[in-house]
Amino acid sequence: MLRAGLGRRSRCCGGLWRSPCPAAASGSARALSAASASPSPGSGGGARSGDAPPAGASNVKPLDGVKILDLTRILAGPFATMNLGDLGAEVIKVERPGAGDDTRAWGPPFAGTESVYFLSVNRNKKSIAINMKDSKGVKLIKELAAASDVFVENFVPGKLAEMGLGYEDIKKIAPHIVYCSITGYGQTGPVVQRGGYDSIAAAVSGLMHITGHEDGEPVRAGVAMTDLATGLYTYGAIMAGLLQRYKTGKGLHIDCNLLSTQVACLTHVAANYLNCKIEAKRWGTAHGSIVPYQAFKTKDGYIVVGAGNDHQFVTVCKILNLPEVSKDSRYKTNTLRVQNRKELIDILSTRFSEKATTEWLQLFEGHGVPYGPINNMQQVFSDPQRTT
């Protein structure tokens, strides 16, 4: 959600790019050091300078010259700012003196002394430790904000305002700023003061309720999808905020939160309830509205097959050498297949169990039906398609 700010355009704010303001040239600002996370291959070597890129430069990235002051920690915020850094923005990550970002201690595994978790979402950044409970630290944050285009934070609502670093405070010294707040539950409502972690937001939003085996317990997704989705919403909102500032000359306040993000990502599950009062359930790897669309056990592993239309279903039956199934009146349309799910899945499962995964992959190749194996990490990172 975007809330338009009322601040006037700064004189040194010429469009998407801004030159450094004098306040950033203080000795404290020179304490910036490269973050422990190294740039990924092909990332262009990390952060950029604050000057507008030269016109026509062939190696210019979309966000070259954009400065981001990053006060976030854990996952959603760092993931968003890392993606902005990948596009060329200069990201200055502010951490607590001593301990730093909480995820620096999340391990094992560690790469040397560094948490692999921390490294996974903090490439292309510079790092500075600032004690924001000290007036000198607050002053330095304001100096950095005045020289930045974007200010990103994920404190509990009201916490930064108590320090004099809330949106209204920063807007006074940096009316051009795109100020983004990431929280667990937003800026208003009865539970806004609660901290927000991915698992809790996944539970409250209903994601855990619909994740897991059909007759099993609720399950957490294998990665923090609520945090990651919030990071992507944040990333897109900041890009839109920069574009809006380019058009209007005004800064703005962006409000992103885990709960709203995950509820939005319920998509058709939420629509089923809101429009038809159909309570959601867990389907394992299957889909409530499409059959077949799930994992099938083979002789030595699993294959996932999705028949999104009737033609694809006929093709699946042909590959499985089950022509009589495609002609069966109970399975002629997707609606009928959903209604007769159990009988059909039993037939398909029996056939899939007769061959090894690689044999089925070869048989499905080139027939226009979406399919694929369930890979472990070694298989993922040795897949020639991924390395192409």
Q: What is the DSSP string of 118-176?
A: HHHT--SEEEEE--TTSHHHHHHHHHHHHT-SEEEE-PPTTHHHHHT-SHHHHHHH-TT
In sequence order, the 6+-apart residues with CB closer than 8 A to the CB of 22 are none
Q: Which of 254, 248, 253 is nearest to 10 (CA)?
A: 248
- The strand order across the sheet containing 2-4 reads 2-4, 252-257, 178-183, 150-153, 67-71, 90-95, 125-129, 33-34
pLDDT at 284 over 80: yes
* Cβ atoms within 10 Å of 157's Cβ, excluding its own: 19
User: pTM of the predicted model, to two decimals?
Assistant: 0.85
Q: Which pair of tokens denotes residue 382?
A: 């040795």
Task: For residues 303 and 358, give the distance between their C-alpha atoms in angstroms, rounded to a whole number.
Answer: 9
Q: Is 328 a catalytic residue?
A: no
Q: Which pair of tokens denotes residue 71?
A: 């006060």
In sequence order, the 6+-apart residues with CB closer than 8 A to the CB of 347 are 322, 325
Q: What is the pLDDT of residue 387?
A: 85
Q: Which pair of tokens denotes residue 146?
A: 């005045």
State the sign of the Cα–Cα–Cα–Cα dihedral 341, 344, 347, 350.
negative
CB 360 within 8 A of CB 299: no
Q: What is the pLDDT of residue 53?
A: 52
What average pLDDT is seen over the chain?
A: 88
pLDDT at 14 over 60: no
Alpha carbon distances (Å) from 221 to 23, 48, 96, 239, 285: 45, 35, 30, 28, 12
CB 38 within 8 A of CB 125: no
Q: What is the pLDDT of residue 59?
A: 85
Count of residues in the chain: 388
pLDDT band for 195, please (50, 70, 90 cuts): confident
CB 221 within 8 A of CB 207: yes
Q: What is the pLDDT of residue 203?
A: 98
Task: For residues 202 and 274, give the distance between their C-alpha atoms in angstroms, rounded to a whole number.
Answer: 19
Q: Which residue type does 4 have? A: A
pLDDT at 187 over 80: yes
pLDDT band for 56, please (50, 70, 90 cuts): low
Q: What is the phi/psi pair of residue 296, to 5°? A: -125, 140
**Helix pair 76-86, 225-248: axis angle to 10 deg:** 50
User: Which single residue is written with the structure tokens 């495609």?
Assistant: 326
pLDDT at 240 over 60: yes
Instruction: Please list the alpha-helical segments (H only) found in 178-224.
Output: 198-204
Task: For residues 283 and 302, give the distance between their C-alpha atoms in angstroms, rounded to a whole number.
Answer: 17
Q: What is the pLDDT of residue 57?
A: 62
Least-confidence region, from 34-48, 127-141, 321-335: 34-48
The angle formed by the CA atoms of residues 246, 238 and 265, to the nearest 5 degrees, is: 135
Instruction: Give percent of the chain with pLDDT exceeding 70.
Output: 85
Q: What is the pLDDT of residue 54?
A: 57
Which pairs count as long-range contacts for 241-244, CB under 8 Å and 24+ apart, including other chains? 241/2, 241/150, 241/178, 241/180, 242/16, 242/66, 242/149, 242/150, 242/178, 243/16, 244/2, 244/4
Among the listed residues 64, 70, 227, 255, the single catalytic one is 227
